[in-house]
Amino acid sequence: MSDHLESLAVAAIKGLSMDGVQKANSGHPGMPMGMADIAVTLWTRFLKVDPRHPEWPDRDRFVLSNGHGSMLLYSLLHLSGLPITMDDLKNFRQWGSHTDGHPEIHQELGIEMTTGPLGQGFGTGVGMAIAEAHLQARLGSSLVDHRTFGFVSDGDLMEGISAETASLAGHLGLGKLIYFYDDNDISIDGSTDIAFSEDVQRRFEAVGWHVLDVDGHDRPAIAQATEAALGDAERPSLVICRTHIGHSSPNKQDTASAHGSPLGEDEIRLTKEAIGLPPDEQFHVPDGVYDFFSEAMQRGRDANDAWMSRRDEALTDPATADTWNAFFGSDPVVFDDPGFEVGASMATRASSGKLFGQIAEKAQNVIGGAADLVGSTKTVIDSGRLFSKDDRAARDIAFGVREHAMGTIVNGMAVHGGLRPYGATFFVFSDYMRPAVRLSALMGVPSIWVWTHDSIFLGEDGPTHQPVEHLASLRAMPNLRVIRPADAHEVVAAWEMALNHSDGPTALVLSRQNLPTLESTGDGATRGGYVVRDGSDASLVATGSEVHVALEAADELAATGVSVRVVSLPCWEVFFEQDEVYRSEVLGSGPIASLEAAATFGWQAITGSEGLNLGLDRFGASAPDDVLAEQFGFTPTAVAAKIAAWLA
């Protein structure tokens, strides 16, 4: 391989990155300049991608966890022949361009996962590696055999999520996961030693990683370390690359100012002179660089051609074709009637648990687990089997007490493709997962979040465990479906909605306490909201465990001559997707009240400015659930009295 062409490629990436940031007057030039040698080595010597088919299922995955350096990725994609044009580079961070400041995901352009929130990419890569290992065990190495590479930074390693996910990755022995650590000793506020002095090598070795240490500007040494990492099938690898931020800049190298500010035209001119680029020419790509990258990408093109031949041959076998379709097809999931008996009392977490047999059978690509709470969340696919070093085909994952890690690993499996992953914990601990939940919504990936113990009615554990504001805050998140089922029938609908929704995440919010299985629920849940009991004087809209309370309150009001319609609204987001005629038919033309054992914030969107919102705008208390219902006014009699007074 020509060292001269490699040097020109490194110079081209530095030049494009400097120019893109300068033209935008916004961005981060230091990291792309500091990691250019690592990037060229990885992309031209090792990475297996096909620019013709950026979404080829058996491609290597590349995660840019330090996504502030996105001009590095954009430059690589452009030079490699993926669909990032020179005009895209020139329109970095501009309206309508393909080159956002922090792009997250755009797989058809070659952007796998490039995170803004530091640490999220680190964890997502772990999820991708789990997905690869599981799919290989289920489909065979002739159809699934690739690696997950990633770039990570000091900031990624400072964030606590890296400790959680590194620990699990080491425990699981994810040998096809290789990260390159940009060890440049610089953060936004200055030298990292003001807050970060740990021994990174010993930290990662302690949790089971293979750790190597190289000069991040010595390309032969980087290649040698990568070969060594590829040779360790038992452990994930961290290649510590000692680099200089803003490398080659005469006055900005090794300074905090190189991190997040344009270098300035004068400094760019000096830097280009130092690396052999025309100093007054912007967005210059030296002769031979495009051909150099194109030749390197032939490795991926050949690999994809060979893979497609193997796949086509494999799919001539009907059983293999059926298995492949179970992972990569789009057949809808429809449950058989589980036989939930009207009048029977069952927590919605329990009715959800009783569906897992059908989930395992009808959705064979479902995989997931709980954060050390599987007995409480009732989320078991195959009892007695756990995904491990020795059983990659198992579908239950023990995440341990790692909600933060669980969230981002679930996203990684979803981003990878082929799997429908879920993560489960108590609803109040969704706070620990929120960055990952937000990214799942932003990226539009079909992660499934199973959250149980959904209200104050979990009882004696008290306010620390009782979610109050969580429904409102998560409903405020764009592109997240929040479903709070009223009973076992709505749970069936909720799981069908989740498993058949591919454009974003779904949250299933389930009760700890038993709820009656109602006669008239379920059929309308897939439209987000529907009439459970008709009435003419007013409408009472409820969710989850408050639907049966609303029905009993309506019975008490009927005895006094007041006719109240009861509406179950398990999913606001889907309800608001319905046409206005349907929504009006459901809500009725009279006054509207809401009932939910949670914060009332946001309910005005349903009840209007004149409506009545019955909820809990305070924290809960430690007491049995029936006592809490009495004290906080969530009994049928208390609700009926408030409705009567409001209508009077």
- Residue 450: both structure tokens together: 């199973």
410: Cα within 13 Å, side-chain hemisphere: 41
Q: Does residue 234 carry a catalytic annotation? A: no
DSSP string, 465-495: G--SSHHHHHHTSTT-EEE--SSHHHHHHHH
Nearest to 75, CA basis, from 293, 236, 360, 304: 293
Determine if residue 29 is left, alpha or beta; phi over 0 gives left, psi from -120 to 50 gives alpha, anything else beta.
Answer: alpha
Closest Cα partner for 131 from 377, 327, 384, 398?
A: 327
Q: Which residues of 360-372 are buried (b: 16+ CB within 10 A; e: fewer)?
A: eebbbbbbbbbbe
Find out whether 23 and 90 touch, Cβ atoms under 8 Å.
yes
Q: Which of 6, 104, 403, 490 is catalytic?
A: 403
Encoding tokens for residue 344?
């029977």
How many Å apart are CA 295 and CA 443, to the nearest integer?
32
Q: Which helix (H) or strand (E) holds 122?
A: helix 120-139
Chain centroid to Cα 484, Å, comes to 20
Distance CA(65)–CA(550), nearest Å, equals: 48
Give me the helices (H) in 216-316, please.
Answer: 219-230, 257-260, 265-275, 289-314
Tell me the Ramachandran region of residue 246: left when phi exceeds 0, alpha when psi lies from -120 to 50, beta otherwise. Answer: left
Cβ burial 178-201 (10 Å sphere, 16+ → b, else e): bbbbbbbebbeeeebeeeeeeebb
Cα–Cα dist 225/294, whole Å:
24
- Extract the tokens encoding 166: 């590194």
Q: Which of 271, 260, 282 is closest to 67 using CA atoms?
A: 260
Taking 3-state DSSP, the helix, strand and coil percentages for the chain, each rounded to the nearest 5, stand at 45, 15, 40
Q: Distance between CA atoms of 384 and 395, rounded to whole angstroms?
A: 11
DSSP H helices, 476-579, are 488-499, 547-558, 572-577
* Catalytic residue set: 403
